[in-house]
Amino acid sequence: MKIDCTINGSPTVLDVSPMRRLIDLLREEMKLTGTKEGCGEGECGACTVLIDGEAVNSCLVIASQIQGRQVVTIEGLTPRSGLTPLQESFVRKGGLQCGICTPGMIVAARALLDKNLEPDALEIRTAIAGNLCRCTGYHRIVDSILEAAELERSRLSLVDTAPPDL
């Protein structure tokens, strides 16, 4: 089956079995191995990607379901050089340890911040409740996302108040 979709901003045509799982398609066909498999049943969230801006478990989505959709993975959320403030906050605040849940966690956090740039701790915990972490106890992940939200807000307000380009 031919699938037309956009992956990390690039229009992509794939010729795959329609029942192929999105996670396999990303990891095996596209070599985007930042998306991880921890359970294969939508419990751990390590395979979280964005489809049309919404966080989903890529182990529960099949190829035919991304026809015409925008898929974004951790690779798509990473700038060409360096890191985003969200990624930097995870490093700085201790939001990661073994790292296996981290890409999915950052994708879930991105989905939250895209909708709500002023989340409180409970909103953050709710937004990442589908991403299991066994290392950190979550405390520092919540801190990382809180800090990232603050950084992004201040960056936005800088943009808002900046004089127009001449």
Partner 1 sequence: MSIGVNVPRKDGQSKVNGQAAYVDDLSFDGMLYGVTLRSQIPHGKIRAIQFDPKFDWSSVVVVDHSDIPGQNIVTLIQRDQPFLAAQLIRHVNEPILLIAATSRKKAMEARTRIEIIVDELPSVTNLEKAATGVRLYGEDNLFKEIHIEKGDLPRGFAEADYIVERTYKTGLQEQMYIEPQGVIAVPGKDRISIYGSLQCPHYVVKALLPLLSFSHPDQVQVIQMVTGGGFGGKEEYPNLLAGHAALLAMKSECPVKMVYDRAEDILATTKRHPSIIRHKTGLKSDGTLTALAIEIDFDGGAYATLSEVVLSRGCIHAAGPYRCENIDIVGRAWATNNPPNGAFRGFGAPQTCFALERQIDLVAKTLGIDPLEVRRRNAMEPGDSTATGQVLTESVATHKCLEQAVKASDYIRKRSEYSKLLPKARIRRGIGLSLFFHGSGFTGDGENRIRGRAGLQVTPDGFIEILTSSTDIGQGTETIFAQMVAEELGIPVDLCRNAGVDTNRVPDSGPTVASRTCMIVGDLVRSAAAQLREDLIKWLAELENCNAEQITLVGGCFLLSGQRVASFQDLAKRACSEGGPASASKTYVQPEGLEWDEKTYQGQAYPVFSWGCDVAEVEIDLDTYEISVTRFTAAQDVGKAIHPVMVMGQIEGGSLQAIGYATMEEVLQKNGWIENHRMTNCLIPTALDAPAFETHIIEEPFSGGPFGAKGVGELPTDGGAPAVAAAIDHATGQRFDEIPVTPEKIELALNP
Partner 2 sequence: MTTEVEFCAPKNLAEALEFLALNRDKKTWILAGGTDIMPAINSRQISPLAVLDIWGLRELRILEQHQRHLTLGPLTTFSEMMQDPRIGQTVPLLREAAQSVGAVQIQNRGTLGGNIANASPAGDVLPVLAVHNAVLELRSAKGSRNVEFNAFYSGYKQSVLKPDELIYRIHVPIQWPQQIPYWRKLGTRQAQAISKVAIAAIAEVRGGILQDIRIGLGAVAPTVVRAKKTEDTLRGRRLDNRLIQAAGEIIQSDICPIDDIRSTARFRRRTTTNILRRFLSDLKLAHRGM
Residue closer to partner 1 (CB basis): 91 or 117 = 91
Residue from 52, 68, 98, 155 binding partner 1 (CB under 8 A): 98
Q: Confirm if 106 and 45 have CB atoms less than 8 A apart.
A: no
Q: Which one of 62-70, 112-120, 135-143, 156-164 is the stretch in contact with partner 1 (CB under 8 A)?
A: 135-143
Residue closer to partner 2 (CB basis): 16 or 151 = 16
Please name the residues in contact with 30: beta carbons below 8 A apart, sequence gap of 6 or more: 7, 12
Residue closer to partner 1 (CB basis): 4 or 43 = 43
Q: Confirm if 14 and 25 have CB atoms less than 8 A apart.
A: yes
How far lies 120's CA from each of 50, 78, 117, 124, 129, in Å? 22, 25, 9, 6, 14
58 SS3 class: coil
What string of DSSP letters covers 120-166? -HHHHHHHTTTS--SSS-SHHHHHHHHHHHHHHHHHHHHHHHSPPP-
Q: Which one of 50-58, 91-99, 140-148, 149-157 is the stretch in contact with partner 2 (CB under 8 A)?
A: 50-58
Please name the residues in contact with 137: beta carbons below 8 A apart, sequence gap of 6 or more: none
x-or-dash pattern for partner 1, window 9-48, by CB under 8 A? ------------------x----xxxxxxxxxx-xx-x--
Supply 113's token pair: 């911040």
- Binding to partner 2 in span 58-117, by CB under 8 A: 59-62, 64-65, 67, 108, 111-112
| Beta carbon of residue 6, minimum distance to partner 1 (angstroms, whole number) | 18
Binding residues for partner 1, per CB under 8 A? 27, 32-41, 43-44, 46, 73-75, 78, 83, 87-88, 90-94, 96-103, 106, 121, 124-126, 128-142
